[in-house]
Chains A and B, each alone.
Chain A
């Protein structure tokens, strides 16, 4: 009796499974089909083989968007984990006011991305007095954050770090608080210094959490869209076009070519899965072992 029967399992999970099949899997199937079709909006698609894929893989614009998105993903994932772990360790050491500081840091994460990106980009906007450029003037610098390719790319990355690092802090801090105290003290008495304790005790014990935040970061960064649309609306000419802003332009912005947009979506899914194979393997093992 304690083990749930298949019939009961089906009964409980049916609504969610029907919903996910109907509203996620079937649309996904449509995207896959469309990627092999020429699909004008509002009309059924016509099979055109691999023409969409041939088009995107020979398009320099796609190449640039893919290159930017991959570099962006890898760089900010590493930076977020490093900075987030550093801040989590500091918060963990803080004897008082931990929740207050954590709450203040969380504001950047919980505010809707569109609003956060808008407010963040204003700090770099000279129309508003550009506080960041005012500070940089001390070093004799003036940077066209919103118009020059290099600085605009850095700005998009800085926004991601500002917006998403609090999540990393939250997860790693929660992990630090559940670590057992005894091995730390034992290592301390045995003469292990602070670095050695982090390297050989804390980081391995938090391993699954690093995997988790890495997984979330890779998945979300490859799909970056909201912040780029707000910070650099003319992403293509500024050089900050991501895979998803490219999809939007092709499908609903400058043209209505759902087939080509679907091919980009499929390519993005394949890319995501390739980058996630190690993570998925550990999720599978974790689920099996329970």
Chain B
């Protein structure tokens, strides 16, 4: 993607050398400024809810709930302390990370070989399974999770991380597959052939040659799966009660209490969660863009 951007920029400058294009170029500069201003406005609107939550979190209790809002106040960290000491937040956050990371590991271990097979097998089975995966992706969570709930209760796995990870891997598997198949298709088949001519078995070629060059694809699929597992609400709401509760369930339960005294710790929790998620995405943005451009779309 970077290389594409570079070639385009050089091309643009060669156009600018044509005399007729100079006037157009000056107009373009104004247009660019206008566009920049409009986009900055949209970005500000888009961030407003988070800015408001942050203000609510750091306002002293009395000034947080005035109407009209108070703008002059001394920031306090009290709501963060309350959140950390007075609620289950820290434990729930830890559990959410455990669940999300286990989900990523299992999803990639199961999904990567299957995606490779779908990308390489020439028969009609691959396309059929892919269409099936698309159909499965359309199924409402509840259509899968209600029977899951009954089964988990029957075998004593209700409210455990095991049931939660199993359900999260399953409901996200079609998506993981679609994403990974797109990446495997990008890898030239000659690479497999070369490895097998050199004496690798099919599995050896997959493990020693294809997986190493799949690094960025696996990271992309991993980050997507992590974000999906982290934010999953329906599955966690249905399958947990106390022990295996995750962040979205915790937040919704606190909100459900609808008690003004919890609002500030909810705001603090929002801030504490929004910042790391945004940072993960900011640093992994190249992988995410590659995932959407190269994987999900072509899948």
Contacts and interface: CB of A to CB of B under 8 A. Distances in A.
Interface of A: 1-4, 6, 8-9, 11-13, 15-17, 19-20, 23-24, 26-28, 30-31, 34, 41-42, 87, 90-91, 93-95, 97, 99, 101-108, 110-116, 118-120, 122-123, 126-131, 134, 162, 166-167, 170-171, 174-175, 177-178, 181, 185, 208-209, 212, 219, 222-223, 225-226, 229-230, 233, 243-244, 247-248, 251-252, 258, 261-262, 265-266, 268-269, 272-273, 276, 280, 283-284, 287-288, 290
A105 B42 contact: yes
Interface stretch (B29-37, B84-92, B213-221): B29-37
Interface of B: 1, 4-5, 8, 11, 15, 31-32, 35-36, 38-40, 42-43, 46-50, 52-53, 56, 64-70, 109-111, 113-118, 120-123, 125-127, 129-131, 133-151, 153, 166-167, 169-171, 173-174, 177, 185, 189, 192-193, 196, 202-203, 206, 227, 230-231, 233-234, 238, 247-248, 251-252, 255-256, 258, 260, 263, 266-267, 269-270, 273-274, 277-278, 280-282, 285, 288-289, 292-293, 296-297
Contact of B32 (A20, A95, A104, A290): A95
Contacts of B121: 3-4, 6, 8-9
Nearest to B269: A115
B147 A42 contact: no
A248 B1 CA distance: 43
B134 to A, nearest CB: 6
17 contacts: A12-B203, A16-B114, A16-B177, A17-B114, A27-B146, A30-B147, A94-B32, A108-B49, A115-B248, A118-B270, A119-B49, A119-B267, A170-B292, A212-B297, A222-B140, A272-B140, A273-B135
A258 B153 CA distance: 14
B67 to A, nearest CB: 5
Contact of A120 (B35, B49, B238, B277): B49
Contacts of A120: 49
A23 B69 contact: no
Contacts of A30: 147, 150
Contacts of B255: 118, 230, 233
B248 A119 contact: no
B292 A174 contact: yes
Given A28-B139, A94-B36, A244-B140, 5 more contacts: A8-B117, A20-B170, A94-B39, A114-B233, A262-B143
Given A94-B35, A128-B56, A261-B146, A111 B274 contact: yes
Given A112-B273, A119-B270, A269-B139, A3 B122 contact: yes
Contact of B150 (A17, A41, A268): A41
B193 A1 contact: yes
A185 B111 CA distance: 43
Interface of B is mostly: helix
Contact of A42 (B15, B43, B133, B153): B153
A12 B115 CA distance: 8
A258 B150 contact: yes
Interface of A is mostly: helix
Contact of B143 (A12, A28, A175, A208): A28
A134 B87 CA distance: 33
A30 B149 CA distance: 12
A162 B130 contact: no
Closest 5 CB pairs of A and B: A129-B69, A16-B114, A112-B231, A23-B170, A12-B117
Contact of B248 (A34, A209, A212, A226): A226
Nearest to A252: B238
B138 A219 contact: yes
B293 to A, nearest CB: 4
Contacts of B50: 107, 111, 119
Of the listed residues A42, A102, A174, A261, the one surrounded by the most CB atoms of chain B closer than 10 A to its CB is A174
